[in-house]
Amino acid sequence: MEETLIIYDDIFLDHLTGPEHPENPDRLRAILKGLRKFKLLENPKIKLERSRKAVMDEICLVHSEKYVDFIEEFCRKGGGILGTWGGGVVCSRRSFEVACYAVGGALKAVDEVLNGKYRNSIALIRPPGHHASIELPYGFCIFNNVAIAAKYLMDVKGVAKVAILDVDAHHGNGTQEVFEETSKVLYVSFHQDRIFPGTGSIEDVGRGEGEGFKINFPLPPYSNEEVYLKALNEMVDPILDQFKPAYILVSAGFDAHHLDPLTGLGLSSLGYVEIYKWIRETAERLTGGKFSAVLEGGYDHEALEKAVPSVVAAMAGLTIEVDDPPQKMPENLKNAALRVLEKVGKTMANYWTL
């Protein structure tokens, strides 16, 4: 078994959003530049494969056929902006096709791990997905790549339970909405409080059968890896032990990096490494090592060039030297972050043994 599979395809550069838009093709170019710079694509533990195109039935595991047809038609006519900018989505003529390959990239990433070829995988795809809801494109997202991958694992591949760890700086409102009422998906989100899309409060724990299976950490600005790791070790770890997922998916946002222009969190590349080492070790214990990360946000090119290669290396059990040390948190915000963790702990103690 090889270690880590990267899914990437040049077609992802064909989703054109305009030069001023933060979610543009240069994000992926920056990541590839970093992977080459650290010689990761030459490493025998890491393999790069191209994406595949998802078919209607796969996309409709989450979205309605009517919605998929609407997006296809909108793009065929030349595209434009769906919704308002920020919350809306810029589509170009080829965006529908690219979005089908983004879904296919996430599905191929899980397939290749499920069939035992790789220990884990990362899909470097765009457009991102976790804001897209069942009938609505939102926040740069057309189809919800991670939600479709989770439904595919359960409905097509017969995987009993899936955990989704969302480390994007924005709450994955679409992903939580899709799985709001199920206990088969544990959704855990770390995000900055009081920024777009404004969802993901501590009390937002899921509904019906899904109550207690949605865990939100709305963090203050400058929250760094110390906060993330404390939450992962003290709360997420025991809950995952009790939940017993058969597969772990990661909504791999890199906009929690301290350089990101759209957000104010405080992770460093070394912090991302620590988080993904934790994920790798947790997956070893619970799923035989099986997990897949799917690219979401991250809008600073220097951060992407350092943080993504650092994460890929950590997934493959390698270490690279990156000059991007942990950031210090102001004391008042650190205390605020610890209060958030305490409140989440109290809320989740109603459902889990902590």
Euclidean distance between CA atoms 185 and 172, whole angstroms: 14
Alpha helices (H) along 118-268: 145-151, 173-179, 225-231, 237-243
Euclidean distance between CA atoms 146 and 14, whole angstroms: 21
- What pLDDT does 1 receive? 77
- The residue among 144, 173, 158 whose CA lies nearest residue 61 is 144
Q: Which residues pair with 249 in a beta bridge?
A: 164, 292
- The residue among 141, 174, 181, 180 whose CA lies nearest residue 296 is 141
Give residue-wise pLDDT tens across range 44-92: 999 999 999 999 999 999 999 999 999 999 999 999 999 876 778 999 9
- The residue among 181, 17, 196 whose CA lies nearest residue 92 is 17
Instruction: Return all residues near 178 (Cβ < 8 A) that are at least 6 apart.
Output: 62, 133, 134, 144, 147, 151
Backbone angles phi, psi at 310, to 5 degrees: -60, -40
Catalytic annotation, residues: 131
Instruction: Return all residues near 229 (Cβ < 8 A) that are at least 6 apart.
Output: 274, 275, 278
- What pLDDT does 50 receive? 98
- What pLDDT does 86 receive? 73
The DSSP secondary structure of 214-240, one letter per residue, reads EEEEEEPTT--HHHHHHHIIIIIHHHH
- What pLDDT does 12 receive? 98
| Four-way CATH pick for 2-348: 3.40.800.20, 3.40.50.11290, 3.40.50.970, 2.60.40.10 | 3.40.800.20
The helix (run of H) or strand (run of E) holding residue 47 is strand 46-49
Give me the residues of the chain with pLDDT under 70, please. 85
Euclidean distance between CA atoms 173 and 130, whole angstroms: 7
- The residue among 17, 37, 22 whose CA lies nearest residue 312 is 37
Task: Using DSSP, state whether 37 is helix, strand or coil.
Answer: helix
DSSP category for residue 66 = H
- What pLDDT does 54 receive? 98
Q: Is the pTM of this model over 0.85?
A: yes
- What pLDDT does 173 receive? 98
